Amino acid sequence: MKGPLIDTLARQGITRRTFFKYCATLASMMALPPSAGRAMAEAMAAARRPSVIWLPFQECTGCTESITRSHSPTLEGMIFDLISLDYQETLMAAAGHQAEEARHTAMKENHGKYLLIVDGSIPLGLDGAYSCIGGRSNVDILKEAAEGAAAIVAMGSCASFGGIPKANPNPTGAVSVSDIIKNKPIVNIPGCPPIPVVMTGVLAHYLTFGSLPELDDKGRPKAFFGETIHDRCYRRPFYDQGKFAKTFDDEGARQGWCLFELGCKGPVTYNACATVKWNGGTSWPVESGHGCLGCSEPDFWDAGGFYKALSMPADPLKIAAAAAVAGAAAGVAVSFANRAKKGAAKKAHETTTLADLEK
């Protein structure tokens, strides 16, 4: 599969209009004007396959599931096929020494040019012994692979921010990619899991412009993470009108009113779920009647309860993050006090009830 992308696509029966249609949708998702969609289509059509090495660390394979099973064969999937994926433990047929060999060959042949995708956090506890591949620690493998990479894509909340492995009390000492690698361009695509099209968008940008897209202060592509879920939510008008669901089965819930009071983290969560949606554009959490969990924000797991309404003035994600660092800052806010209580209950071998978790 050598040669320009459009020729490979044509061999698979994809016409130029089909590809342009796809690029128009992609560009719109990346908040680019229609003219840029055209330019993107032309540049992408002529692009050649970049070498990609994908390293899975402390992860659940949910990110890979999200990307590879987005929905039945689509252009997205085909473009994903069109990169030269030289190493991906879940997908590749090779195993053992052959697989490691393939990685080393790809790294050597494409030194300085390959794209490195990482999913999963990297444990630093016990010299990284919590997660090893082929007898080598994740941190060791990451440093080696990052050395010759043109850029790194941190795929999912774990690779971007530490994610669930890093959640309090972080038993393995998990950290993100950017905590370890400082001298390479890194793009974070957080989400648990991330949205497939964000990956394709970043890839499309890389192929079109030869660089990573514009990033925000947390290293996320601005096109997809530029606005909060709340800002783009179709239920937003109800928030503005002060119409809130108070329980999951009340009148307001049936009418599809705002889920803010049921703990929706939409107002402090930057992601594209509200516009791109999930499962091939079928629906997304808020549309199915559940508030946003904030899974693409740092330390979302420790942000004080999925069903607790955001307090005002609100930035609980930040407060919780600070609490995780400070540890003993009990009494500052209600959630901290409850955490302490939970800790005490655990020490006394008491059963933690659902009610405790909800506090």
Partner 1 sequence: MTLDAIPIHVVNTPPGEPGLTGNARPLLRELLEAAGRLLETGETSAIDLSALPLTPADLDWLREKLGAGEISVTLQAIGESTLNETACPGVWWVTHHNEQGAVTSQFLEVAFVPELVKADPHDVESGCEYLELLISDLS
Q: Rounded to whole angstroms, what are the CA distances from 310 to 102, 252, 313?
A: 48, 19, 8
| 39 lies in the binding site for partner 1 (CB under 8 A) | no
| 341 lies in the binding site for partner 1 (CB under 8 A) | no
User: Which of 31, 36, 39, 309 touches partner 1 (CB under 8 A)?
Assistant: 31
| 29 lies in the binding site for partner 1 (CB under 8 A) | yes
In a 10 Å sphere around its CB, with 0-12 CB exposed, 13-18 middle and 19+ buried, how is residue 249 labelled? exposed
| 36 lies in the binding site for partner 1 (CB under 8 A) | no
Decide whether 32 or 107 has the Cβ nearer to partner 1. Answer: 32
| 11 lies in the binding site for partner 1 (CB under 8 A) | no
User: Which of 237, 247, 315, 344 touches partner 1 (CB under 8 A)?
Assistant: 237
Q: How many residues bind partner 1 (CB under 8 A)?
A: 34
User: Which of 11, 48, 69, 71 touches partner 1 (CB under 8 A)?
Assistant: 71
- x/- map, 246-285, partner 1, by CB under 8 A: ---x-x--xxx------------------x----xxx---
Minimum distance of partner 1 from residue 29's CB (angstroms): 8
Q: Round to whole Å and give the CA distance between 21 and 325.
A: 47
| 236 lies in the binding site for partner 1 (CB under 8 A) | yes
Identify whether the C-beta of residue 208 lies closer than 8 Å to the C-beta of residue 202.
no
Helix residue spans in the chain (DSSP H) = 5-11, 16-29, 34-46, 62-68, 75-82, 96-109, 138-147, 156-161, 177-180, 196-209, 222-225, 229-232, 236-240, 251-254, 273-276, 316-326, 334-347, 354-358
| 69 lies in the binding site for partner 1 (CB under 8 A) | no
User: Which of 7, 11, 15, 105 touches partner 1 (CB under 8 A)?
Assistant: 15
Q: Round to whole Å and give the CA distance between 130 and 164.
A: 15
| 210 lies in the binding site for partner 1 (CB under 8 A) | no
Decide whether 280 or 343 has the Cβ nearer to partner 1. Answer: 280
Decide whether 18 or 353 has the Cβ nearer to partner 1. Answer: 18
| 28 lies in the binding site for partner 1 (CB under 8 A) | yes
User: Which of 5, 8, 22, 57 touches partner 1 (CB under 8 A)?
Assistant: 22
| 290 lies in the binding site for partner 1 (CB under 8 A) | no
Nearest to 195 by CA among 230, 227, 156: 156
Instruction: Give every strand in the sheet of 149-155, ordered side by side.
Output: 84-88, 51-56, 114-119, 149-155, 186-189
| 16 lies in the binding site for partner 1 (CB under 8 A) | yes
Pairing of strands 136-137, 132-133: antiparallel
Q: Rounded to whole angstroms, what are the CA distances from 218 to 116, 118, 214?
A: 19, 16, 11
Identify whether the C-beta of residue 37 lies closer than 8 Å to the C-beta of residue 27.
yes
- DSSP letter, residue 283: B
The footprint of partner 1 (CB under 8 A) covers 14-18, 20-22, 24-25, 28-29, 31, 33-34, 38, 71-72, 74-75, 232-234, 236-237, 249, 251, 254-256, 275, 280-282
